[in-house]
Amino acid sequence: MPEFNNKAMYKLSYGLFVCTAVQGDKKNGCIINTAVQVASDPNTISIAVNKANYTHDMIKETKTCNISVISKEAKFDLFKHFGFQSGRDVDKFSPEYPSSSYAMADNGIPYIIEGTNAYFSLNVKQEVDLGSHTLFICEPAFMTVLSDVQSCTYEFYQSDIKPKPQAVGTTPKGETVWRCTICGYEYVGEDLPDDFICPICKHGKDDFEKIIR
Ligand SMILES: Cc1cc2nc3c(=O)[nH]c(=O)nc-3n(C[C@H](O)[C@H](O)[C@H](O)COP(=O)(O)O)c2cc1C
């Protein structure tokens, strides 16, 4: 009998997307890996967005968003900018964010033009409460191709874009600090729980290194 192995979850494949929304004067966006075409007639795309994300609340309120499809040319900075910080704390479309990186769609929502190969403007038709996430079931109002570069899968992000974690150090006598090699978040404690998820960038234990102070 094969044994239960939750590593099977890592065998599911995903694309990666910047999901952008606008509410009043506020423009924002986050990285998601959960945009999928789920029906063809009518053409339907679903996205699952964590309720903790600011973008989630903006989509729930405005019932519309854009999805920019990330390509293999994307830099790690794109993931850091949209995936490792919240629009609650920073303005992701402040003047420091280069205006050459994005353009405004007809629906008044930005889409990303650097490191992407297509974008969709989506209108939310239904919502399903999935506990941690809301599944927004959407109809595309517009879509276009921006480049012929291949789409970036989650696997390609893990193997070719995300910086490699460094080796774990030896346990010091005093305070043990585990640092997230992706975003720098530090956890203090001898043992990092197996199911620990970085509160900033949402990466797991494998991306933490033990550092000596
Ligand atoms: C590679 C990657 C994939 C992610 N996938 C998702 C996802 O599918 N759904 C989601 O809600 N958040 C996902 N996130 C996390 C959000 O992008 C992240 O929490 C973001 O900072 C939220 O920003 P906001 O609060 O401004 O909306 C992902 C992050 C990364 C780096």
Structure tokens, 146 = 């921006």
Residue 67 C-alpha to ligand 1 middle, in angstroms? 13
Q: Do 138 and 130 touch, CB atoms closer than 8 A?
A: no
For residue 116, the Cα-to-chain-centroid distance in whole angstroms is 14
| CA–CA gap between residue 106 and residue 142 (Å, rounded) | 9
Question: Is pLDDT at 37 greater than 60 in this prediction?
Answer: yes
pLDDT digits (tens, 9 = 90+) for 136-145: 999 999 999 9
| CA–CA gap between residue 117 and residue 73 (Å, rounded) | 9
Global confidence as pTM: 0.85
Would the CATH topology of 6-158 be identical to that of 163-212? no
| CA–CA gap between residue 110 and residue 136 (Å, rounded) | 19
Is the CB of residue 30 below 6 angstroms from any atom belonging to ligand 1?
A: yes
| Closest C-alpha residue for ligand 1 atom 16 | 83
In this prediction, residues 201-212 reach a mean pLDDT of 84
Residue 31 C-alpha to ligand 1 middle, in angstroms? 4
| CA–CA gap between residue 55 and residue 70 (Å, rounded) | 17
Give me the amino acid identity at 195.
D
Is the CB of residue 156 below 6 angstroms from any atom belonging to ligand 1?
A: no
In this prediction, residues 12-22 reach a mean pLDDT of 97
Q: Ligand 1, residues 12, 53, 59: which to mutate, most atoms within 8 A of Cβ?
A: 53
Q: Ligand 1, residues 9, 12, 31: which to mutate, most atoms within 8 A of Cβ?
A: 31
pLDDT at 10: 84
| CATH 3.40.190.10 describes domain 163-212 | no
In this prediction, residues 91-115 reach a mean pLDDT of 97
pLDDT at 171: 47
pLDDT at 173: 56
| CA–CA gap between residue 213 and residue 203 (Å, rounded) | 23
pLDDT digits (tens, 9 = 90+) for 151-204: 999 999 989 998 865 555 544 456 788 888 877 788 888 889 999 999 877 888
Residue 146 C-alpha to ligand 1 middle, in angstroms? 23
Could you please state the CATH topology (level 3) that the domain comprising 6-158 is classified under: Pnp Oxidase; Chain A (2.30.110)
Question: Is pLDDT at 111 greater than 60 in this prediction?
Answer: yes
| Closest C-alpha residue for ligand 1 atom 20 | 83
Residues 6+ apart with CB under 8 A from 108: 22
| H-assigned helices in the chain | 54-62, 76-83, 154-156
Is the CB of residue 33 below 6 angstroms from any atom belonging to ligand 1?
A: yes
Residue pointed to by tokens 């890996």: 33
φ/ψ of residue 77, rounded to 5: -55, -35
Domain ranges of the chain: 6-158, 163-212
Residue 69 C-alpha to ligand 1 middle, in angstroms? 14
| Closest C-alpha residue for ligand 1 atom 13 | 32
In this prediction, residues 36-49 reach a mean pLDDT of 98
pLDDT at 104: 98
Structure tokens, 47 = 């996205």
Nearest-CA neighbor of 59 among 96, 105, 109, 22? 22
Q: How confident is the model at residue 38 (pLDDT cuts 50, 70, 90)?
A: very high
